Amino acid sequence: MMLAVLLTPALLWLFALIILPHVQLALLSFRERTAPRTYAASLMQYRTFFSEPLYWGVFVRTAIMSALATVLTLLVAFPVAWIIAKVARGRASSLLFVLCLIPFWVSETVRALGWLILLRESGVLPTLLVRLGITAVPVELLYHNATILVGLVYTSLLFMVVPLVSSLESLDNSLIEAAYNLGAKGPAILRQIVIPHAAPGITSGCIVVFMLTLGNYLTPNLLGGKNSQWFTELIYTQFIVRFNWEQGAAFGFLLLALSTGMVALGLRVSGQRFVDVMRRA
């Protein structure tokens, strides 16, 4: 009885905000409008996706860019997490952690606007490059793929650092010393001791970052401009601009399938189990 009472909010939330809309979206995605106010069951929405190169082109691009952003985030976050967990002591360690957290005190919009100020043609960095004589005229640093990646990595960093720090903190230092004592060098210790130990943390960080990146709308839109071609923008366009809910719903399901598929692939490749990984996150 008590259990039922405690679980009610969670179940209510699960049903009202997750299951119900998805059932509705599923129904939407499998119909087409044959005449005003008349609909028929159909796979047309999905067929449109596969027959229109722009749609699946953006889809694949979003997947690749997200995977790339996840890998880059891991590479940037790992040394940071290592320093927080193993090198810095006491206050210094907490301070570094807070430094990772500070950007999240402002909204994502403001953070992205910060990049605009730095990178736009008349912004801080292009001006600096001209002053230093590196470029003759100010260059536009916005609206490149690299710019989108920089923004995505910056936005995702904390979500990678947190699981990495917790998994590295639980690594017993004497294991590292024992490996040195048995003749190992840095790279071998990283490969044989540190990474296997941190694998659940690495996987859970990657899953979270990948999902957040894939579903991000604001950062690719602001930093990539009209060229960003992010799949969430296509969904937005279908729902809000074209008022084609059927097509938008189909796109939504395709994105869900993509994220599920990539996570399953990641788990398979790293030999992790979803339950173990989520416990670490």
Partner 1 sequence: MSTPDLSVEQLDKRFADHVAVDRLSFAVERGSFFSILGPSGCGKTTLLRMIAGFTVPDRGDIRIGGHSMRDVAPNRRPVNMVFQHLALFPMMSVGENVGFGLARRGVNKAERVRRAAAMLERVGLAGAAGKRVEELSGGQRQRVAIARSLVLEPTLLLLDEPLGALDLKLREHMKIELKQLQAAFGTTFVYITHDQSEALVLSDHVAVMNRGRFEQLGTPQQLYYEPATAFVAGFVGANNRIPGRAVGVDGELVELLTPQGWSVRARRSGPVSPGDAVAAFVRPEVASIELEAAQLPPQMARYAGEVQSLLFDGANSAVLIVEQQTRFEFRVALPQTGRLADLKPGAQVFFGFDPQRAICFTAAAAAAAAAGSAHV
Residues that bind partner 1 (CB under 8 A): 172, 174-175, 177-185, 188, 192-193, 196-197
Closer Cβ to partner 1, 171 or 208, answer by number: 171
Give the HSE-up count for residue 192: Cα atoms under 13 Å, Cβ half-sphere: 13
CB of 175 to partner 1, least distance (A): 5
Nearer to partner 1, 158 or 168 (CB): 168
CB of 199 to partner 1, least distance (A): 9
Of the pair 193, 214, the CB lying nearest partner 1 is at 193
Least distance from partner 1 to the Cβ atom of residue 184, Å = 5
Token duo for residue 4 = 């039922």
Q: How far is CA 188 from CA 54, 71, 79, 179, 259, in A?
A: 45, 21, 16, 9, 33
Q: What minimum distance in Å lies between the beta carbon of 183 and partner 1?
A: 4
Q: Which is nearer to partner 1, 9 or 187 (CB)?
A: 187
Q: What is the nearest approach in angstroms of partner 1 to the Cβ of residue 277? A: 16
> Closer CB to partner 1, residue 73 or residue 272?
272
Rounded CA Rg of the chain: 23
Within 10 angstroms of residue 279's Cβ, the number of other Cβ atoms is 10
For the stretch 166-170, contacts whose Cβ atoms lie closer than 8 Å and that sit 24 or more positions apart, written own/partner, are 166/201, 166/280, 167/197, 167/198, 167/200, 167/201, 167/202, 167/280, 168/81, 168/82, 168/85, 168/86, 168/194, 168/197, 168/198, 168/201, 169/85, 169/86, 170/197
